[in-house]
Amino acid sequence: MDKIYSSTTSPDKSMIYRPVFFRLSNKSDERSLNDLLDNNPDIVVYDTIPGQLSELIKLSNPTRRLSKEESALLVTAHINGDIKKYGVWVYFPWSAKLVHTLDEQEFIKVRTNRNIYKVSPEDIETLKTKKIGIIGLSVGQSIALTLAMERTCGELRLADFDEIELSNMNRIRVNIQDLGLNKSITAARQIAELDPFINVVCYPDGITNENIDDFFTLGGKLDVLVEECDGIDIKVLSRIKAKELGIPVVMDTNDKGMLDVERFDLEPERHIFHGTVNELEELSPTELKSKLNSLTIPEKVEYLYKIVGFENLTETMKKSFAEMNKSIVGWPQLASAVTLGGAMVTDVSRKILLNQFTESGRYFVDFDELFTHKFNTINNSKGENATH
């Protein structure tokens, strides 16, 4: 059992993101849970394990159409004891919720069953062992939640120093009571309440010179890096580190459905950002950090132009670039584009982890081009003009 933080004992409740597990077959856990409930009468208890067990039995007997009576008998035989002590009780300190659920292996079996055979049972087992790191939890939050929902990995490392602001809520799925909380902590809590058995490690200071090695290698090397941060310095430094360690990098740029894949694991000599900033790679580590730390805002924007490719931007994004720090204060991002990015990055990351995708490059899923072309094609085939 992990350390319990109640509403009165937490040193910094805003930084808590790990659930606490109680397995009542263990007498110590049983006593600890009873103490927790006695000392915190406001805890809300959710016990839906009978329904979870019924679903487990159903999935274990796919060729049979079980009656309620048959299902109940099979559940009773399966638990072979006190249902209250079956599975695990999971406590979420930040929300004061206690949930009774299947334990890890059965929980994963049921939760991922609808993935089969889109993802084979063997591949599901493989993905359990994989580690994905995400830098930047504005765009990255949608990616993290989609990765967790699909269970594309067994561990997520989330890095972001920023806090949730009201203007973030146009594309980050949070509640208004989350305003002021760290973005990585908020995402980790949502993942825990979706799947408490995914190991999440937060870096609420973002990526720094002091923690970058830990982020990439502590507890085992990352299998994929998803880079979604705003800072040009971390964009560059994280790629150089990924290249050194042979870790593939995936980035959604949130405009035109543009996705970058850099397979440093398969191409160790590959230039970062597809060769658009080779001059930075030629610098020594000390020179590089000095240069990146001294960049002016116009110089940072110029590097972003080079990395993304001005010709690849939509007209609305080009206009936004021109208005930065004039009429707008941040990079514009829409919920629809962020959600698309979560889907694209999850799909490509899974295929990378399962050796089903080996390419590097820049790819587009441009809705404007796709839907306009389709509409025009349909109307032209009817001999009509596209007027909408």
Residue 203 lies in a domain: yes
Place of tokens 């120093």: 161
When pLDDT is cut at 50, 70 and 90, the band that residue 372 belongs to is confident
Residue 383 lies in a domain: no
Does 300 score more than 90 pLDDT? no
Asked whether residue 185 falls in the same domain as residue 315, the answer is yes
Does 2 score more than 60 pLDDT? no
Asked whether residue 242 falls in the same domain as residue 271, the answer is yes
Asked whether residue 328 falls in the same domain as residue 197, the answer is yes
Distance CA 356, CA 364 (A): 19
Asked whether residue 101 falls in the same domain as residue 167, the answer is no
Does 148 score more than 70 pLDDT? yes
CB-CB contact of 225 with 248 (8 Å):
yes
Residue 116 lies in a domain: no
- Helix 297-308 × helix 232-245 angle, to 10°: 50
Last residue of a domain, one of 82, 111, 140: 111
Does 377 score more than 90 pLDDT? no
Last residue of a domain, one of 60, 91, 111: 111
> With pLDDT > 70 as the criterion, what percentage of the chain qualifies?
93
Average pLDDT over the chain, rounded to an integer? 91
Q: What CATH code is carried by the domain that includes residue 148?
A: 3.40.50.720
Asked whether residue 94 falls in the same domain as residue 125, the answer is no
Distance CA 249, CA 239 (A): 7
Give per-residue pLDDT as tens, 306-354: 898 878 888 888 887 777 777 877 778 899 999 999 999 999 999 999 9
Question: CB count, 10 Å around CB of 331?
Answer: 15
Asked whether residue 221 falls in the same domain as residue 351, the answer is yes
Residue 382 lies in a domain: no
Q: Which pLDDT score is estimated for 320?
A: 79
When pLDDT is cut at 50, 70 and 90, the band that residue 7 belongs to is very low
Residue 354 lies in a domain: yes
Q: Which pLDDT score is estimated for 331?
A: 75
Residue 381 lies in a domain: no
Q: Cβ neighbours of residue 117 under 8 Å, at least 6 residues apart?
A: none
Give per-residue pLDDT as tens, 171-185: 999 999 999 999 999
Mean pLDDT of 77-92: 96
Distance CA 225, CA 239 (A): 9
What would you report as the CA-atom Rg of the chain, rounded to the nearest whole angstrom? 24
**Which residue would you say has higher pLDDT here, 124 or 301?**
124
DSSP assigned state of 179? T
Asked whether residue 99 falls in the same domain as residue 128, the answer is no
CB-CB contact of 135 with 228 (8 Å):
yes
Distance CA 360, CA 211 (A): 28
Give per-residue pLDDT as tens, 216-266: 999 999 999 999 998 899 999 999 999 999 999 999 998 889 999 999 999
Domain of residue 94 covers: 13-111
When pLDDT is cut at 50, 70 and 90, the band that residue 388 belongs to is very low
Q: Which pLDDT score is estimated for 383?
A: 53
Q: 203: cis peptide before it, omega within 30°?
A: no
Asked whether residue 50 falls in the same domain as residue 139, the answer is no
Q: Which pLDDT score is estimated for 135?
A: 98
Alpha helices by DSSP H, the chain: 27-39, 49-60, 68-79, 104-111, 121-127, 139-150, 183-194, 212-217, 232-245, 278-281, 285-293, 297-308, 315-323, 335-353, 367-381
Q: Which pLDDT score is estimated for 102?
A: 98
Distances (CA, A) of 213 to 207, 241, 264, 289: 9, 8, 17, 16
Q: Say if strands 131-135 and 224-227 run parallel, antiparallel, or are unpaired.
A: parallel
CB-CB contact of 227 with 238 (8 Å):
yes
Q: Cβ neighbours of residue 56 under 8 Å, at least 6 residues apart?
A: 78, 102, 106, 109, 110
Asked whether residue 216 falls in the same domain as residue 125, the answer is yes
When pLDDT is cut at 50, 70 and 90, the band that residue 5 belongs to is very low
Residue 225 lies in a domain: yes
Asked whether residue 210 falls in the same domain as residue 76, the answer is no
Asked whether residue 169 falls in the same domain as residue 290, the answer is yes
Domain count of the chain?
A: 2
When pLDDT is cut at 50, 70 and 90, the band that residue 386 belongs to is very low
Distance CA 129, CA 154 (A): 6
**Which residue would you say has higher pLDDT here, 71 or 8?**
71
> With pLDDT > 90 as the criterion, what percentage of the chain qualifies?
75
Residue 379 lies in a domain: no
Last residue of a domain, one of 58, 77, 111: 111
Distances (CA, A) of 98 to 48, 104, 278: 11, 16, 52
Mean pLDDT of 93-107: 97
Asked whether residue 186 falls in the same domain as residue 302, the answer is yes
